[in-house]
Structure 1
Amino acid sequence: MPNAAPSARPRNAGHPQLARGLLVAAALLLGLWGAWRSFAPAPANAREQLGAQARRIDALEQQVATLARSDQISRQANADLQATLAERDEEVAGLRADIAFYERFVGATGQRHGLAVHELRLQPQRDPQVWHFVATLTQNLNRGAVSSGQLRLALEVTDGGSMRRLDWNVLRQQASAPGVAYSFKYFQQVEGDIVLPRGARPVRVLVRLQPGTGPEVETPFSWSAAAEVAGAGG
């Protein structure tokens, strides 16, 4: 019996082994690349780069702190400027009021008035019983003539439900207390202190002017109004 011819080997019988070999080689290459990435030495200038980055961070932080401080200074300067402008506006308004006041008595077109008390201001002192007063006296009836005399105050107060009057001697705590002297041509501010008895509640102030010649002039002022004017001015 003749020998059977050997069967032909499949052409692709070695391909699976080749593919497996390629996969293993690829895996080894990937492993080696990862190990190199993990354990490869750092660049020679890595320390310099880290130092430069740290210095850059410090510089940026310093710039931020400087800008924040500059902003704070600018805000404070702006607030101070606004306060100064408000003070200057108030001063200008006061000067304009003074000019208007002076023109009323010195100006050629101002109305003529005899001796009078134009304004009274009352200001409390550290001792609550002591009050400082400022009275503005005016006259332009006799231009160029000097008006002189003495000023005294009197108070109408409530004490225990009843009304009574306190004269100058009581307010000055001195028997036969002299008045406050004045002497002016057009206007003058006369000032002094008075002492209120404890428990007395002032209602009205009477400003009495006794000129060297001529009749006495007495002008009443509400205590609350005179004290409010002083508070608004301070």
Structure 2
Amino acid sequence: MADTRHPQEEFVIVPRRRKPHPWRVVGVLILCLLSGLVGYGVGWSQGGYRIEDVAQSRPSLARELSSVKEEYDQVRQQKVRLERSQAIDEQALNAARNTIAGLESTIANLEADLTFYRNIMAPSEASKGLQVDRLTLRDVRGERRYDFKLVLTQVGDNKSYISGVVAVNIIGEQKGEQEVIPLRDLSEDVEDLGVRFRFRYFQDVEGTLTLPDNFEPYEVQVVAKAEGSKASQAERTFEWRQLAEN
């Protein structure tokens, strides 16, 4: 028996496109154009104002920058002047200190000399006659060499000269034993055991001495003897350490 059924028909829905009306297209184009013009105008106006503001503030900024630079230069110059002034002040202060130190040393020497002459011209009763006034040592180049200066004075009676001899001995230790060395054996400036003197007020005995190796001094003994009508004797012992430190 033949199939009387017809094949199922397929239905497809196709949208129908309507043609746009020309006036709508024109309207949209005009609207877009107006929007673009308005946006461009607004943007340009705002940008123009910003550029104008910068252009107007530029001279002010330039003046401010110039003022800051000028102030900086002034401060820098002031700093340089202060530094120079400080350096000059420091130099002046150091010079003043050196001058004061020199004046103090001069004053001390003058006072010592004044005391020295005062004691000679107006002594006390206990210090008249021949005196061993002082002994000084000065290190020479650290080679166990010393410049020495011994001062003898005549105190009180200065109307006539006093004469005699003075002997100087250095007492120390060598190889564990005490040893006494006369100044003659240590100095080329002294030829005899006793150095001759003759003076009215005072006399200096000066020269250079050299200590032998392995000899450690600890005392200097000075004995001065006057001869004739003013015969007398004066003795004094000095510690080497104090002499060397002074």
Q: TM-score, normalised by structure 1?
A: 0.70
Shift of 1:216: 5.4
Shift of 1:158: 0.4
User: Partners of 2:212 and 2:121 in 1: how far apart?
Assistant: 40
| Amino acid paired to 1:131 | Y
1:21 — aligned with what?
Answer: none
Native 8 Å contact 1:180 1:192 kept in 2 = no
1:34 — aligned with what?
Answer: 50
2:119 — aligned with what?
Answer: 104
User: Partners of 2:95 and 2:226 in 1: how far apart?
Assistant: 49
Aligned to 1:128, what secondary structure does the other structure show?
Answer: coil
User: Partners of 2:118 and 2:57 in 1: how far apart?
Assistant: 94
**Number of aligned residues:** 205
Q: Quick one: percent identity of the two aligned structures?
A: 27
Larger mean Cα displacement after TM superposition, 196-205 or 174-183: 174-183
Native 8 Å contact 1:152 1:179 kept in 2 = yes
Shift of 1:61: 2.1
2:232 is the alignment partner of 1:219: no
1:168 — aligned with what?
Answer: 183
Question: Could you list the per-position Cα deviations for residues 86-135 of structure 1 after superposition, in whole angstroms to 9, with x for gaps in the alignment?
Answer: 3323322332232223212202x643512121211122212522222111
Find 2:149's aligned residue among 130, 134, 145.
134
Q: Structure 1 174/72 Cα, relative in aligned 2: closer, same or farther at 3 Å?
A: closer
Q: Structure 1 176/119 Cα, relative in aligned 2: closer, same or farther at 3 Å?
A: closer
User: Partners of 2:142 and 2:107 in 1: how far apart?
Assistant: 33
Shift of 1:159: 0.6
Aligned to 2:105, what secondary structure does the other structure show?
Answer: helix
Please give the residue correspondences for 1:1-234 in structure 2 after superposition, counting only pairs within 5 Å: 29-38=45-54, 43=59, 54=69, 57-107=72-122, 110-111=124-125, 112-126=127-141, 128-172=143-187, 177=192, 179-213=194-228, 214=231, 217-228=234-245, 231=246
| Amino acid paired to 2:238 | F
Larger mean Cα displacement after TM superposition, 112-121 or 196-205: 112-121
Q: Structure 1 199/116 Cα, relative in aligned 2: closer, same or farther at 3 Å?
A: same
User: Partners of 1:162 and 1:119 in 2: how far apart?
Assistant: 28
Larger Rg: 2
User: Partners of 1:164 and 1:62 in 2: how far apart?
Assistant: 72
| Amino acid paired to 1:91 | T
Aligned to 2:213, what secondary structure does the other structure show?
Answer: coil
Native 8 Å contact 1:103 1:110 kept in 2 = no
Aligned to 1:143, what secondary structure does the other structure show?
Answer: coil
User: Partners of 1:53 and 1:90 in 2: how far apart?
Assistant: 55
Native 8 Å contact 2:130 2:232 kept in 1 = no
User: Partners of 1:169 and 1:189 in 2: how far apart?
Assistant: 16
| Amino acid paired to 1:32 | G
Shift of 1:163: 0.5
In structure 1, runs of 5+ residues without a counterpart are 1-23
User: Partners of 1:186 and 1:125 in 2: how far apart?
Assistant: 29
Question: Could you list the per-position Cα deviations for residues 147-187 of structure 1 after superposition, in whole angstroms to 9, with x for gaps in the alignment?
Answer: 23343321111011111111233223699547544332122
Aligned to 2:128, what secondary structure does the other structure show?
Answer: coil
Shift of 1:77: 0.6
